[in-house]
Amino acid sequence: MAGGFIPPHGGYQHLLSYQKTEIIYDATVIFCDRFINPRSRTHDQMIQAARSGKQNIVEGSLASGISKETEIKLTNVARASLEELLADFRDFLRVRNLPIWDKNDPRAQAIRKLSQRSHASHESHRSHASHESHRCHGTYVTYETYRTYIEQGDPETAANTIICLIHQANYLLDQQIRSLEQTFSRKAACASA
């Protein structure tokens, strides 16, 4: 039976938001192991927030075939988890009197430009609902792109790099949530018509 009873779901690996949160998770684990006492609650909480950001995208994507409302809720949870993680990284820098880079800081701009290696267009950011591959020209930006900044960088560079990544993921998730909500509203309107 083509299509089946439950619409297509999953495909989260191809979502740019998922790819970005996977990088954030890996970077956060390395960062916490390098710069935060492993016995502290902060160490575990930061890793759990990064994990939640990633895993809720997975769960939302898998639930999408059954409940768009659940997909929206879980994507919002992912977004909230990343906001919590962002606050933790800002706190880390603030209490150590290290600067939080402004978005116009040349170092922050250099980190943002690394994402352009994927050759991803803005349209690929917005077309998440199709669950088609978001690889353009067969390339992904991976953790390897940022490894030097995280693993060899000083705490200021490592934290600010991850902050830049979180901002990018939050942007992607905001677009994804907006698109999901619009689709949900259209389907609800059609069902009641």
- The whole-number pLDDT of residue 120 equals 44
Nearest 5°: the CA angle 183, 189, 193 is: 145
Average pLDDT over residues 35-55: 97
The set of residues, in sequence order, having a beta carbon less than 8 Å from that of 132 and lying 6+ positions away, is 11, 14
Question: The whole model's pTM is what?
Answer: 0.83
- For residue 104, the SS3 value is coil
- The whole-number pLDDT of residue 185 equals 79
Between residues 144 and 11, the one the model is more confident about: 144
Average pLDDT over residues 8-26: 89
Average pLDDT over residues 30-50: 97
Q: Which of 21-25, 33-37, 147-151, 177-181 has the lowest mean pLDDT?
A: 177-181
The set of residues, in sequence order, having a beta carbon less than 8 Å from that of 96 and lying 6+ positions away, is 155
Q: Is 171 within 8 Å of 79 (Cβ atoms)?
A: no
- The whole-number pLDDT of residue 193 equals 58
Tokens at 136, concatenated: 């353009």
The amino acid at 70: T
- The whole-number pLDDT of residue 109 equals 96
* DSSP structure string for 13-54: GG-HHHHHHHHHHHHHHHHHHHHS-TTSHHHHHHHHHHHHHH
pLDDT digits (tens, 9 = 90+) for 100-139: 999 999 999 999 999 876 544 333 433 343 333 334 334 5
pLDDT digits (tens, 9 = 90+) for 133-166: 334 334 568 999 999 999 999 999 999 999 999 9
The set of residues, in sequence order, having a beta carbon less than 8 Å from that of 66 and lying 6+ positions away, is 6, 9
> Which residues lie across from 136 on neighbouring strands?
139
Q: Which of 12-16, 30-34, 186-190 has the lowest mean pLDDT?
A: 186-190
pLDDT > 80? residue 18 = yes
